[in-house]
């Protein structure tokens, strides 16, 4: 995050007192991918549970039928397994997979342990990094981030076979240089993990060439996908011949992860429309500007904030601190303290406001930022252990706060991760909302400028769609 200094201002009232391929490289293989012999074709395993893992290339963008390499690979693998299935949380053309268009390495890292626990694959086909390279998102560290992702997979499922593929070429010369650097790092990354005993192999996509095998600057066409299918087939066959593929793989339960709180209407450019924002694990932020709210009406703003050293993505909130209509960048500390950066344009243009709230001792995840009185500035809301709610009014957007005391007694039985503050009725004041276990919503209207006017019950305002993580619900 580019930070310009901000003159230190006095703060009238800080928040005081108890106020968030072709070839596979196993351990000692000396042959290069270009010279390694093709895998034998007479292999057989009892079970193949294959998870194609990656981005839009794995999903199948660029292929005429939308199936990418998956259907051709399935047909090649079918005679070699008594039980063959492709697994994953998404489905296209009858093939389950974990192909997520537009996603980057860190996006997969955020979710892969949950996917593994749900699907129990014994083979993972990993092709990821194209979007990191195309957008130049921390491209120099992309191989290291890929290594972290591979380690997550092998730690969660120690017996799984992971086949890491190189990237297909790119039509842009500058991007291709980054592709070459990324691909050059992969054999060593794989060999390092093989030396530690993990069943991690390398699959070269060197047979896919540009421009003949590409449908556009990024995605293969049908011919390119056929070559990808052959490369992955050879990789699986080699792994099977080497005895890597276990019929059953134990997968450890997915570890708990911080529940993102979500922010009501994150308006990056102040045009009154909510924009689409992705916060990475390290606090880096990417954004897409809403040009109208309809399908495909989004301008890619790229990386708008590089994050803050030492901070993590789950600490990041977006809230309009100064009332100018643009969402500012806020870090919530473990003790509920706030550091903020004013949004001066949304494209790495942020002015440090420093520490704007000293904190109240309330854990960071129990802090909410929402406008209680309709003055357009986000107020500070602290959820107490007994379910009650205390608040501080944002006086000037610079760290001046007035204690409002206890503004709500809370809802019996509601956990803090179920509570939202969002303007349900459009009067400019944040209402009190509880996300029930079935993901339905109950709401109480904010009938006073500071919450002291009472909270008339709206009752059930949304019916829900079954059990699931309430942390995924946005309003």
Model confidence pLDDT, tens digit, residues 319-342 = 999 999 999 999 999 999 999 999
Indicate the pLDDT class of residue 444, thresholds 50, 70 and 90: very high
pTM of the model: 0.63
Give the pLDDT confidence score for residue 264 in this predicted structure.
65
Which secondary structure element, helix H or strand E, spans residue 152, and what is its range?
Answer: helix 142-156
Q: Which of 49-58, 123-132, 257-266, 401-410 has the lowest mean pLDDT?
A: 257-266
Q: Which of 45-49, 56-60, 178-182, 281-285 has the lowest mean pLDDT?
A: 281-285
User: Once rounded to an integer, what is the mean pLDDT over residues 97-116?
Assistant: 92
The tens digit of pLDDT for each residue in 18-38 reads: 332 333 333 323 233 333 445
CB 92 within 8 A of CB 59: yes
φ and ψ of 285, to 5 deg: -125, 130
User: Residue 165: CB partners within 8 Å, gap ≥ 6?
Assistant: 21, 125, 126, 127, 202, 203, 204, 205, 228, 231, 232, 235
Contact between 467 and 454 (Cβ < 8 Å) = no
| pLDDT band, residue 309 (cuts 50/70/90) | confident
pLDDT digits (tens, 9 = 90+) for 189-232: 999 999 999 999 999 999 999 999 999 999 999 999 999 999 99
Q: For residue 344, what are the CA distances in angstroms to 138, 239, 350?
A: 23, 53, 5
The mean pLDDT value for 372-378 works out to 93
If phi over 0 gives left and psi between -120 and 50 gives alpha, with beta otherwise, what is residue 182?
alpha
Q: How many CB atoms lie within 10 A of CB 433?
A: 22
Q: 279 or 215: which carries more pLDDT confidence?
A: 215
Mean pLDDT of the chain: 86
């Amino acid at each position: 995050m580019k930070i310009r200094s901000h003159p230190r201002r006095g703060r009238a009232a800080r928040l005081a007192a108890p106020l968030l391929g072709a070839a596979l490289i196993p351990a000692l293989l000396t042959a290069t991918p270009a010279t390694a012999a093709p895998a034998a074709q007479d292999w057989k395993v009892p079970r193949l549970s294959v998870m194609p893992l990656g981005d839009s290339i794995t999903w199948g963008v660029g292929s005429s039928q939308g199936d990418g390499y998956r259907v051709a690979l399935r047909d090649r693998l079918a005679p070699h397994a008594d039980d063959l299935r492709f697994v994953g949380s998404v489905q296209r053309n009858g093939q389950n997979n974990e192909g997520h268009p537009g996603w980057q390495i860190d996006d997969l890292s955020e979710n892969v342990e949950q996917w593994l626990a749900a699907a129990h694959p014994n083979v993972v086909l990993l092709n990821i990094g194209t979007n990191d390279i195309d957008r130049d998102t921390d491209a120099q560290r992309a191989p290291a981030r890929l290594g972290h992702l591979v380690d997550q997979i092998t730690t969660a499922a120690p017996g799984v076979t992971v086949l890491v593929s190189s990237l297909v070429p790119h039509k842009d010369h500058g991007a291709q240089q980054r592709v070459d650097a990324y691909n050059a790092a992969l054999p060593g990354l794989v060999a390092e993990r093989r030396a530690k005993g993990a069943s991690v192999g390398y699959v070269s996509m060197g047979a896919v060439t540009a421009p003949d095998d590409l449908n556009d600057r990024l995605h293969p066409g049908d011919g390119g996908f056929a070559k990808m299918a052959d490369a992955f087939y050879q990789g699986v066959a080699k792994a099977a011949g080497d005895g890597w593929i276990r019929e059953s793989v134990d997968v450890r339960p997915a570890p708990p992860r911080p529940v993102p709180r979500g922010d009501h209407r994150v308006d990056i450019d102040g045009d009154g429309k909510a924009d689409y924002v992705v916060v990475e694990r390290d606090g880096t932020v990417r954004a897409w500007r809403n040009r109208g709210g309809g399908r495909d009406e989004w301008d890619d703003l790229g990386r708008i904030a590089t994050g803050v050293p030492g901070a993590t993505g789950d600490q990041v909130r977006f809230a309009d601190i100064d009332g100018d209509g643009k969402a500012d960048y806020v870090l919530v500390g473990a003790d509920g303290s706030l550091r903020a950066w004013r949004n001066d344009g949304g494209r790495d243009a942020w002015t440090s406001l420093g520490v704007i709230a000293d904190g109240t001792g309330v854990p960071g995840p129990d802090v909410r930022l929402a406008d209680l009185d309709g003055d357009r500035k986000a107020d500070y809301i602290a959820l107490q252990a007994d379910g009650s709610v205390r608040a501080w009014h944002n006086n000037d957007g610079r760290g001046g706060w007035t204690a409002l005391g206890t503004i709500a007694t809370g809802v019996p039985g509601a956990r803090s991760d179920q509570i939202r503050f969002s303007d349900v009725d459009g009067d400019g004041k944040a209402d009190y909302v509880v996300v029930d276990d079935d993901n339905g919503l109950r709401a109480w209207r904010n009938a006073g400028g500071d919450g002291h006017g009472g909270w008339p019950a709206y009752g059930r305002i949304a019916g829900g769609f079954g059990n699931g993580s309430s942390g995924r619900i946005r309003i």
